[in-house]
Amino acid sequence: MTSARIRAPRSAVRAGVIALAAMLMATLLQPAAAHADPTQHLKGRVGLGVASAYAGAGDVKVSIRERDAAESASSVLTDEEGRFEFGDLEGDTVYVLSFDYLGDDSFMRTYAPSTTYWPSGTERQITIPVAHRLGGSVLVGLDRTPATEGQVRVTLSSSAGSTPRATTYTDASGRYLFDRATSLTQGYLNFEVVDDPSYPVWYYAGAENTGSRFSKSAVRLQFSGDRTDLDTIVGDGSVISGVVRDSSGAPVSGITVYANERPNGGTGEERQVDTDADGAFVFRSTTPGRYRVFTSMGVYAQVQGTTSDLYHSDVVEVAPQTAVALDFTAYLASTLRGKVTGNRDLLAAYGPLVVNVLYRSPGTSTYTAVRVDEVDSAGAFTFNYLQPGTYRIDTKYLSRSETRKGKSFAIAEGSDITVATLKGPDIALPADLNTYLTALYTDFLGRKPGRTEILNWHLKLWVSPNTKIVPTFANSDEYRLIRIDAAYQDILGRKADKPGRSNWLKQMQRGRITTDDIERQFYSSAEYEARARLAFPSATSSKAAFVMALYRDLLGRKVDSAGLAAWTNRALKSGNASVVKALWGAPEVARSRVADMYRHYLLRTPDPTGLKSWTKFILKHGDTATRATLTQSSEYYNLSGRRFPEMYNAYD
């Protein structure tokens, strides 16, 4: 069966199309639905002082501006609940609000916290803080005259050097007032004279301090509430002034006067000014404190009516905002000349003479050093710019403490005097040191010391008391050459040749060998063996003669036959140096060398105990150390006085 297609009548189709078109038209002609409003509202509430208290109707004018705008766009007043609202604001924009309190005097007049940004569409609460009244009087100059109207500008800052939060001026009575200008709990007041910004200002810290506290820098103030006692002085600070007159009473012009601040007794900033035609001087804008006032070189001055020293005043206490008067009597300075003679040996040992000029304070017996200097090569000295008065001249050698005190004498005003020739001080040298040094010179160097050498030792020991005397002798080139020459003569029987002498000295200077080493090498040499062969012609060989000579020179006796055979055989097999080294270190030889040192330095033979002890010492430390130790002993020191009694008072 075939399905049949059903067709709608043409008239019905046409009617449906017409209906659909009508519906579309109706839709297009229908009013569009309302879109979201593009503007925003900003709301807030204003508190007063504490969170539970709010502004009333019309108490606060709230102004609004965009963050980047310079001026406010509009303002509204708070309602009875302290609320405010701004409408028709741009979306996505940040605004800054400021608040002007229009009520009584309890709160900040204008409050515009820079951090209070209000994004549109938000609601916040802001609290206007309680404000302070800050003020005081401004006085000008030493007479403390009240400032005139507008003469002084006063600024209030939260920190030193920061942008002022508020500015005001003195009124006709010299007072200033910040009326509800700040809610700060601390801040800085700064004062400036309008027609002269460089005018000095002194700040007074206020009534919370005991007494007056002045400073040239602004003082940080604490605001616990209203303060109307913040008084300030602007002006010259303290003043030091006076007149300088000569001894006849006439004013002296052109003299430089100095004022030196002396904090805690020290020396501080120094100022200077010249006297005018009337002899007057003045130091303005002076910081309160302690000062010493004095005059220029060439003129000395004394404070009139006092007994203070010439040249400067006593310390003057300068109080804040006070005038201190110091009148001086000036005197012309004087010149002092002279000459000093001294012992030439002492001059050579202790350096040049020193002259110490002392001034006696008026009315006392106390002398104070005012000039110290060395004399010139001729012993002469000159001191200029001395004040009139009583003096004394003491002399000493530069490197010594002994002083010769001079007699007192007077110097008149403006004089040029020459004192009689002075003498250097006497120096008493330790007598026992003189004898000890003489013994060392004799025993080590084979000669007596000169006066200058003795004095040089005194100087060296005075400057460096721990100086080792004996090592200085033992390590001197003079002593080394003496030992080298003696070794040549005693061992080789001849004078030292120049090249050999020089070579051995260089070796000793470099620390490579000692005099003991030189002697052992000489005993081991072929030259010594050849001399032994001549000295002992009956010897069976030159080696036997070598051994016989060593016994003679080192032990002071003949060698026995057994010893001769043994040592000769060793010399043939191991060489001369082996024999010398063994004999040099033998106790019998060591005892012989110790006995020789006793006789040479202590002028006696050794006692058994001493001989035993020193023999061990010389075997361990060598001949050079033994000599040095013996000559540093108290026995040697005391013996020197008996050996050279004439040296006790040789150079006094």
Instruction: Residue 62: give its domain's CATH number.
Output: 2.60.40.10
Q: Are residues 362 and 319 in the same domain?
A: no
Domain end position, chosen among 397, 423, 449: 423
The whole-number pLDDT of residue 651 equals 56
Tell me the β-bridge partners of 138: 232
Q: Round the average pLDDT of the chain to a whole number and report it.
A: 80
* In the predicted structure, residue 9 carries a pLDDT above the cut 50: no
Average of pLDDT values for 131-149? 81
Q: Are residues 317 and 340 in the same domain?
A: no
Please report, to the nearest 10 degrees, the dihedral formed by the alpha carbons of residues 351, 353, 354, 356 taken in order.
150
Count of structural domains, the chain: 5
444-465 pLDDT, tens per residue?
Answer: 999 999 888 887 887 677 656 5
Find the range with the poorest average confidence among 8-22, 250-264, 330-344, 366-380: 8-22
Q: Are residues 465 and 326 in the same domain?
A: no
Cβ atoms of 233 and 285 closer than 8 Å: no
Q: Are residues 460 and 573 in the same domain?
A: yes
The whole-number pLDDT of residue 202 equals 56
The whole-number pLDDT of residue 314 equals 61
Cα–Cα distance measured from residue 17 to residue 24, given in angstroms and rounded to the nearest whole number:
11
Chain centroid, CA 652 distance in Å: 44
Q: Could you tell me which residue, 325 or 268, shows the higher pLDDT?
A: 325
Q: Are residues 300 and 437 in the same domain?
A: no
* In the predicted structure, residue 306 carries a pLDDT above the cut 60: no
Find the range with the poorest average confidence among 108-112, 203-207, 249-253, 454-458: 203-207
* In the predicted structure, residue 489 carries a pLDDT above the cut 70: yes
Domain end position, chosen among 109, 128, 147: 128
Q: Are residues 594 and 478 in the same domain?
A: yes
Q: Are residues 218 and 260 in the same domain?
A: no
539 falls within a domain:
yes
* In the predicted structure, residue 334 carries a pLDDT above the cut 90: no
The whole-number pLDDT of residue 18 equals 39
Q: How many Cβ atoms from other residues are within 10 Å of residue 598's Cβ?
A: 18
The whole-number pLDDT of residue 626 equals 93
Percentage, residues of the chain above pLDDT 90: 33
Q: Are residues 87 and 142 in the same domain?
A: no
Cα–Cα distance measured from residue 341 to residue 516, given in angstroms and rounded to the nearest whole number:
49
The whole-number pLDDT of residue 5 equals 36
Q: Are residues 262 and 174 in the same domain?
A: no
526-578 pLDDT, tens per residue?
Answer: 999 999 999 999 999 999 999 999 999 998 899 999 999 999 999 999 999 99
* In the predicted structure, residue 380 carries a pLDDT above the cut 70: yes
504-516 pLDDT, tens per residue?
Answer: 999 999 999 988 8
31 falls within a domain:
no
Cα–Cα distance measured from residue 329 to residue 248, given in angstroms and rounded to the nearest whole number:
9
Q: Are residues 547 and 632 in the same domain?
A: yes
Find the range with the poorest average confidence among 93-97, 151-155, 187-191: 187-191
15 falls within a domain:
no
| In the block, residue with structure tokens 């002469």 | 380
Contacts of 259 (CB under 8 A, 6+ apart): 240, 270, 271, 272, 283, 286, 291, 292, 293
The whole-number pLDDT of residue 220 equals 63
Task: Name the nearest CA neighbour of 615 among 644, 583, 575, 586.
Answer: 586
48 falls within a domain:
yes
pLDDT range class, residue 89, cuts 50, 70, 90: confident
Q: Could you tell me which residue, 237 or 116, shows the higher pLDDT?
A: 237
Domain end position, chosen among 285, 300, 332: 332
Q: Are residues 178 and 307 in the same domain?
A: no
Domain limits for position 61: 40-128
* Angle of helix 587-597 versus helix 608-621 axis, rounded to 10: 110
Average of pLDDT values for 599-626? 93
Q: Could you tell me which residue, 363 or 306, shows the higher pLDDT?
A: 363
175 falls within a domain:
yes
User: What stretch of H or E contains 17?
Assistant: helix 10-29
Q: Are residues 453 and 568 in the same domain?
A: yes
21 falls within a domain:
no
8 falls within a domain:
no
CATH code for the domain of 510? 1.10.3130.20
The whole-number pLDDT of residue 298 equals 53
Q: Could you tell me which residue, 554 or 183, shows the higher pLDDT?
A: 554
Q: How many Cβ atoms from other residues are within 10 Å of residue 216's Cβ?
A: 12
pLDDT range class, residue 358, cuts 50, 70, 90: very high
Strand ranges for 353-458 from DSSP E: 353-360, 367-374, 380-386, 389-397, 403-404, 409-411, 416-418, 422-423
Among positive and negative, which fits the CA dihedral 622, 624, 630, 632?
Answer: negative
* CA separation, residue 17 to residues 5, 12, 13, 30 (Å): 22, 9, 6, 20
6 falls within a domain:
no
* In the predicted structure, residue 182 carries a pLDDT above the cut 70: no
